[in-house]
Structure 1
Amino acid sequence: MAQEKGSYYVPHESHWPVVGTIGMFIAVIGAAALLNGVRFGTPVMFIGGAIILYMVWGWFRDVINESVQGVYGSQEDRSFRQGMAWFILSEVAFFAAFFGALFYARVYSLPWLGGEGANFFTNLLLWDGFEAAWPSDGPAPRGGEFDIMGAWGLPAINTAILLTSGVTLTIAHHAIKENNRKVLNWGLFATIALGLLFLSIQMYEYVHAYVDLNLRLDSGIYGSTFFMLTGFHGLHVFLGALMLTVVYFRCLKGHFTADNHFAFEAAAWYWHFVDVVWLVLFVFVYWL
């Protein structure tokens, strides 16, 4: 039933927040157990993850059904836009923390530790052979010799792929505004395909880093920041591709109109945010 004019739709009691809370609690318990060497940690973590995925699937299904039934109006649309904007802002803060760690290590920590007259004491307190230069390695055997990941190989290819996906998504956005369903569907499909190609190349890059470059997560602060930043970005690419896939199938069913398609816009906002993060990451992690 369509909402009454001037009213604000309030959903009925939902069990999904409780399900999500239980899933997150179980997943965190499993992750903590895994990090402490407990054998049951891995299956418990995956059980919690499966419950979270079930919650996401069910909750999104309910919201999509409510949207199709016409219970949302301009006030709900404004709330959704504000919510998505705040969510992306929280993601900006999330990545800012990791970029801040990278910046602090490169600009402040290493110069301080390698200051004039400090080499003897830093080698004594840290490890023999410590050099205050970027990229900084950890003490052997935990770190050891490694090669850095160059910018103009696979990372440059992935940069071109991700920027191209932003173009195809923009084409799809213009198409939905013009009610051109054919171009819309092809633009979305191309964007999703490019995102999956990006992830495939990144997985190959990780294998190359571990096998050929001896670059690992425990390769000092360089290895830690490299894998944390690129890994979390890859996770966000996966989530963005998943969001666009849901939108794609909704487009195939004709759910959106030229004037009412915020679900598409929300996924597009998120995807463009992921593009911008990668550009910053490419410059400060791979290039400089």
Structure 2
Amino acid sequence: MTNKVRGYMQLHPYHLVGPSPWPMFTSFSLMNLATSIALTSHGYMGHNYMMVMCAMTMLYSMTLWFKDMMAESTYLGDHTLAVKKGMMQGFLLFVVSEMLIFVSLFWAYLHSALNPSVELGMQWPPAGMEAMSAAELPLLNTMMLLASGVTITFAHHALINGNRKNTLYGFLYSTLLIVIFVGCQGLEYKIAPFTISDSVYGSTFFSATGLHGLHMMMLGIMLALCTWRVYNYDFTNSSHVGAETTILYTHVLDVMWLFMYMVMYWWGA
């Protein structure tokens, strides 16, 4: 359906989004999730039911929002070249903000690591703490992320060349690798010899790696969604902004993990 059929002639290439409840609904869901996490962490709630319910509500609202966006892009033709360019620029700004968050966490880690105080025993890791071995599970996770970078690049080239089968396989393999990575990181947290409350070492380590793990969960959802859209013939070799942003996000998180592995696992230990 074009804008002319809808009853008016649009004289610009931009998409004027109609009234939608999902931005407000998602905002309240995020606020409730953050509040429930804070209250649970400080012991005001004796269970995790509210936190899980808020997370499910947020995912549900985001799902409905993304469904409307995909309809606008694939079936209504609202995403013109100007709209796609604006979406890509917006996503690049989002990536820059994400990188600055990780820069602050690296800063906090290196501030204590390069000049450990008396309270830390004048050494890093602090006295009496056993660091995570960089040659075991973290190395396996690093190899899987490097492999996901290869498979997503394979999918990108196949998508540009119009090879739907290889594109589908590339996104599928990338999704499986990210899911395995998240599972292995959860296992790593379970067997870790220290906790988030063990001095500044534990707090900065788990804050940085945990935030990266949260982003990997989001990336897994994005890759699974792209896999479904490729299967559903939503992407073409000339129109695939959703796939491009997901591919870019995969590479950014891969590079961020490499820095995290070298600084916090290899050098920091």
Return the match for 1:50 from 51, 56, 77. Answer: 56
Distance (Å, rounded) in 2 between the aligned partners of 1:40 and 1:263: 40
**Which residue number corresponds to residue 38 of structure 1?**
44
TM-score for both structures, normalised by structure 1 = 0.85
**Residue 119 of structure 1: aligned partner:** none
1:135 corresponding residue in structure 2:
125
Q: Give the alignment of 1:130-279 within 5 angstroms.
A: 131-136=121-126, 145-209=128-192, 213=193, 215-279=194-258
Q: Is the 8 A contact 2:146 2:254 kept in 1?
A: yes
Q: Within the alignment, does 1:24 sit opposite 2:14 as a pair?
A: no
Aligned partner of 2:85 in structure 1 is 78
Which letter maps to 1:44? M
Whether 1:92 aligns to 2:99 is yes
* Contact 2:13 2:83 survives alignment (8 Å): no
Give the number of the structure with larger relative contact order, counting CA–CA contacts within 8 Å between residues 6 or more apart: 2
Label 1:154 to 1:41 Cα distance change in 2 as closer, same or farther (>3 A): closer
What residue in structure 2 maps to residue 283 of structure 1? 262
Identity among equivalent pairs (%): 31
* Structure 2: runs of 5+ lacking an equivalent: 4-9
Cα deviation, residue 105, structure 1? 1.0
Distance apart, 1:43 and its partner CA: 3.0
Asked whether the 8 Å contact 1:244–1:267 carries over to 2, the reply is yes
Contact 1:168/1:190 (<8 A) preserved: yes
Separation in 2, partners of 1:265, 1:73: 16
Task: Supply the distance in 2 between the matched residues of 1:201 and 1:83 (Cα, whole angstroms).
Answer: 32
> 1:228-287: per-residue Cα shift (whole Å, max 9, x none)?
111111111111111010010000011111111111000001111110110000000001
Contact kept, 8 Å, 1:29 with 1:44, in 2: the verdict is no
Aligned residue identity for 2:189: Y
TM-score by length of 2: 0.91
**Which amino acid in structure 1 is aligned with residue 97 of structure 2?**
S
Secondary structure of 1:7's counterpart equals coil
One-letter identity of the residue aligned with 1:236: H
Contact 2:91 2:245 in 1 (8 A): yes
Cα displacement (A) at 1:29: 2.7
Structure 2 counterpart SS, 1:255: coil
Partner of 2:66: 60
